[in-house]
């Protein structure tokens, strides 16, 4: 029997997770998936309970589980703690310890939300792009790192951006193969855009060379382009539909995926999958713990609910159940239900709802 470990975390985490769990339990029954759900601690709540942002017990259970569903971590309460013990370190540690190097972030525009975006509707209409972000390397994990005192008494912060050929190759493979899968489904030509800063950083010069060699050797059916990260930021706003799959390192992927999220109206809509080499994964919304609205029933649970759909698709190969959830989300948007983050106040026929009501509406469609 397969197990899903749920880690609600901090801030709005518990609220959005409660709705996502209801959805998961429902499809578990209707599609007879045979999944067992467990709960565990990560982030600030784990610090409060155990002193560690990622307790050993959570890691052991995450290793044993077939998939992990995560809410969000962090908040002002834990900002003053020593750096290595902060909630975010728990998240980085679980990604690294489980070997979840491939982070897939899909920015897909629900046509119902075209007006909720700050970008003109014609620019984003039909948008469906996938950012493949390397998640366990690069400047997030490179050594040496720290804050040191120089001889003149001044302090200096430093980090190291590193990528080895094998790290670049394994994320490149994911991107090229997903481009091939997407073209099979959409009929559009397979395209990968690799984002780097090869004009300045040697580490991304190697990135660019490696991705280029891979395309020439194994993926000649995929059209490959390269773009500098700064230009990619600009192009995402100017003409996002020029992209299909974007592949990039940890930090550029962090930045570009927030930007891509806003094209779709709200970061509250963006799910993600973080996969290891065997396809085992952790699934989480791209947004954070939003402490400013925590506990007020204002959060958008849809990114977490859509993360459940990704989990069913990628780890459990249950495409029908995944699509049922995505359809239910689309249906509630058709009905005009909107959490505050996706509410366009100028549009007629919309109803503002809270986190719980949104989750219940999705459930009612399943
Ligand atoms: C994300 C987040 C995390 C990251 C933080 C919370 C450590 O911004 O998942 O995009 O930078 O990876
Ligand atoms: Mg981020």
Domain 128-263 in the same topology as domain 1-111+267-366 = yes
Question: Residue 28, Cα to own-chain centre: how many angstroms?
Answer: 23
What pLDDT does residue 115 have?
Answer: 85
Confidence of residue 304 (pLDDT cuts 50, 70, 90): very high
Residue 232 has pLDDT above 90, yes or no: yes
Q: Considering 197, 219, 280, 341, which one is annotated as catalytic? A: 197
**pLDDT attached to residue 266:** 83
Q: Mark whether 239 is an active-site residue.
A: no
231 is in an annotated binding site: no
Rounded to the nearest whole angstrom, what is the distance from the C-alpha of residue 54 to the centroid of ligand 2?
A: 19
Establish whether 273 is an annotated binding residue: no
Residue 252 pLDDT grade (very low, low, confident, very high; cuts 50, 70, 90): very high
Ligand 1 atom with the shortest distance to the CA of 92: 7
Place of tokens 């993360």: 307
Ligand 1 center to residue 152 CA distance, Å?
34
Q: Whose CA is nearest to atom 4 of ligand 1?
A: 254
Closest protein CA for atom 9 of ligand 1: 286
Is 81 annotated to bind ligand? yes
Averaged over 29-35, what is the pLDDT? 97
5: which strand partners? 38, 68
In the chain, where are the structural domains located? 1-111+267-366, 128-263
Residues 83-105 have a mean pLDDT of 94
Q: Take residue 106 and report the two structure tokens written for it.
A: 């899909």
- Report which bound ligand comes closest to the CA of 103: 1
Cα separation of 238 and 40, whole Å? Answer: 42
Specify the residue with its C-alpha closest to ligand 1, atom 11: 254
pLDDT > 90? residue 101: yes
CB-based contacts of 162, cutoff 8 Å, min separation 6: 137, 138, 139, 142, 203
**What's the pLDDT score for residue 114?**
86
Residue predicted with more confidence, 265 or 366: 366
pLDDT band at 199 (very low <50, low <70, confident <90, very high): very high
Q: Which of 10, 110, 140, 228 is catalytic?
A: 140
Indicate the top mutation candidate among 91, 106, 289, 290 to test ligand 1's pocket, ranked by most ligand atoms within 8 A of CB. 91
Catalytic residue at 140? yes
* 169 three-class SS: helix
* Nearest ligand to the C-alpha atom of residue 271: 1
pLDDT at residue 117, as a whole number: 85
User: How much is the average pLDDT of 257-266?
Assistant: 89
Model confidence at 265, in pLDDT bands (50, 70, 90)? confident
Q: Give the fold, CATH level 3, of 128-263.
A: Isopropylmalate Dehydrogenase (3.40.718)
**What does the angle CA 315 – CA 320 – CA 321 come to, to the nearest 5 degrees?**
65
Options 3.40.30.10, 3.40.140.10, 3.40.718.10, 3.40.50.1000; CATH of 1-111+267-366: 3.40.718.10
Taking 90 as the threshold, does the pLDDT of residue 33 lie above it?
Answer: yes
Kindly identify the ligand whose nearest atom is closest to the C-alpha of 53: 1
Q: Say yes or no: CB of residue 177 within 6 Å of ligand 1.
A: no
Residue 172 neighbours by CB under 8 Å, 6+ apart: 194, 210, 211, 214, 247
How crowded is residue 186: how many other Cβ atoms within 10 Å of its Cβ?
Answer: 11
Q: What's this model's pTM, rounded to 2 decimal places?
A: 0.93
Question: Atom 7, ligand 1: which residue's CA is nearest?
Answer: 88
**Helix, strand, or coil (residue 12):** coil
Interhelix angle 13-30/355-364, rounded to 10 degrees, is: 10
Band (1; pLDDT cuts 50, 70, 90): confident
The CA-based angle 213-98-289, given to 5 degrees, is 105
Return d(Cα 136, Cα 130) in angstroms, integer: 18
Closest CA to 38 of 59, 73, 7: 7
**CB of 88 closer than 6 angstroms to any ligand 1 atom:** yes
Residue 25 clears pLDDT 90, i.e. is over it: yes
The percent of residues above 90 in pLDDT, for the chain, comes to: 91
């Amino acid at each position: 029997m397969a197990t899903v470990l749920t880690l609600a975390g901090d801030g709005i985490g518990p609220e959005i997770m409660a709705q996502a769990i209801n959805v998961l339990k429902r499809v578990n029954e209707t599609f007879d998936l045979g999944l067992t759900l467990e709960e565990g601690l990560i982030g600030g709540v784990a610090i409060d309970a155990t002193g560690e942002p990622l307790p050993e017990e959570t890691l052991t259970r995450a290793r044993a589980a077939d998939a992990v569903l995560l809410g969000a971590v962090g908040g002002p309460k834990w900002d003053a703690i020593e750096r290595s013990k902060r909630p975010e370190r728990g998240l980085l540690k679980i990604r690294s310890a489980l070997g979840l190097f491939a982070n897939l972030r899909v920015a897909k525009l629900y046509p119902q939300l075209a007006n909720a975006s700050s970008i003109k509707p014609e620019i984003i209409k039909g948008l469906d792009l996938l950012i493949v972000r390397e998640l366990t390397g690069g400047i997030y994990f490179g050594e040496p790192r720290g804050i040191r005192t120089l001889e003149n008494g001044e302090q200096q912060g430093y980090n190291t951006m590193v990528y080895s050929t094998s790290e670049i190759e394994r994320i490149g493979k994911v991107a090229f193969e997903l481009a091939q899968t997407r073209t099979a489904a959409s009929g559009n030509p397979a395209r990968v855009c690799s984002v780097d800063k090869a004009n300045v950083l040697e580490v991304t010069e190697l990135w660019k060379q490696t991705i280029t060699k891979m395309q020439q050797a194994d993926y000649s059916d995929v059209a490959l382009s390269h773009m500098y990260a700064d230009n990619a930021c600009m192009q995402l706003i100017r003409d996002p539909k020029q992209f299909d799959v974007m592949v990039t390192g940890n930090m550029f992927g962090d930045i570009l995926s927030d930007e891509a999220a806003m094209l779709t109206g709200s970061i509250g809509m963006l799910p993600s999958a973080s996969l290891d080499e065997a396809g085992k994964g952790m699934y989480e919304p791209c947004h954070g713990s939003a402490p400013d609205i925590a506990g007020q029933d204002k959060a958008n649970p849809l990114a977490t609910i859509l993360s459940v759909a990704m989990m069913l698709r990628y780890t459990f190969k249950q495409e029908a159940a995944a699509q049922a959830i995505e359809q239910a989300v689309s249906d509630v948007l058709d009905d005009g239900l909107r959490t505050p983050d996706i509410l366009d106040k100028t549009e007629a026929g919309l109803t503002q709802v809270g986190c719980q009501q949104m989750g219940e509406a999705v459930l009612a469609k399943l």
